[in-house]
Amino acid sequence: MGKERIDKIFREKLAAKEKLFVPYMMAGDGGLDTLEEKIAFLEKCGVSAIELGIPFSDPIADGPVIQQAGIRALESGTTLASVLEKLSVIRKKYTVPIILMSYINPIFQYGIEKFARDCFASGVDGVIIPDIPMEEEGIISPHLAAYGIACIRLAAMTSPPDRIKKIAERTEGFLYAVSVMGTTGARNAYAENISAYLRQLKENSPVPVLAGFGVSSGKQARYLSQYCDGVIVGSKIVDLFFKGKREEIKRLIESSLSGEPLTEKVKFP
């Protein structure tokens, strides 16, 4: 269903006054044979979509937790091709949107048109490519569009207003709001201008805005969700999966979506 599936599920959840929660996990961390069980678990927890990372040897946006997960996945033999092949076998059992996060190099080596075609065949709904700028995305976005796959763009806190407007107008599925300056990983605080930044994205984006990078607790998720439509949680989910702490993942998701008032303010540096 591609972009349509993301739009439908997100629209239904927001209409029900729910916030969106998208967990990230590294495909192949713990072996690719664990992928289906993890997808089933997260879907049962009520997540809005799943961001599935493709391991790459030279990541630029990933912090140490996700870097180590990528190394483990590569050592287990995980490739873009094996992930798509696995998804093609298991995808029809689940309705949760699946969004691939990959750097452009593995996609380029795989073949851009072939990648779009195989994503469609494997039931991938959206793609995030953090290292391809808006000016160069023309090498892949038309191919994704041909198969109805959402090309999800990222906005940074350092982006000037005119660029944010252009990114927001072009994104599909949702707008990924990078909520910190730096790589992925847990943070104890956010910049003081985070609320203004997220509000600006909301004003410009025709699709939901989700804050990612640095979200590691239900409190942080609820704090950021005051200003946007929900959050993406990566490093914390990856770490808890690696440690086998599924009950903690469940509690994190429940806490993020509980709607309970914040018990304490998020401290700023």
> pLDDT (tens digit, 9 = 90+) per residue, 156-207?
988 899 999 999 999 999 999 998 654 444 444 455 688 889 999 999 999 9
Q: Could you say which architecture CATH assigns to the domain 3-257?
A: Alpha-Beta Barrel (3.20)
pTM (predicted TM-score):
0.92
From 62, 125, 229, 239, the catalytic residue? 62
From 7, 29, 51, 239, the catalytic residue? 51
Annotation marks residue 51 as catalytic: yes
Annotation marks residue 62 as catalytic: yes
Of 33, 29, 170, 25, nearest to 98 by C-alpha is: 25
The domain segmentation of the chain, as residue ranges, is 3-257
All residue ranges of the chain with pLDDT < 70 are 61, 180-192, 259-269
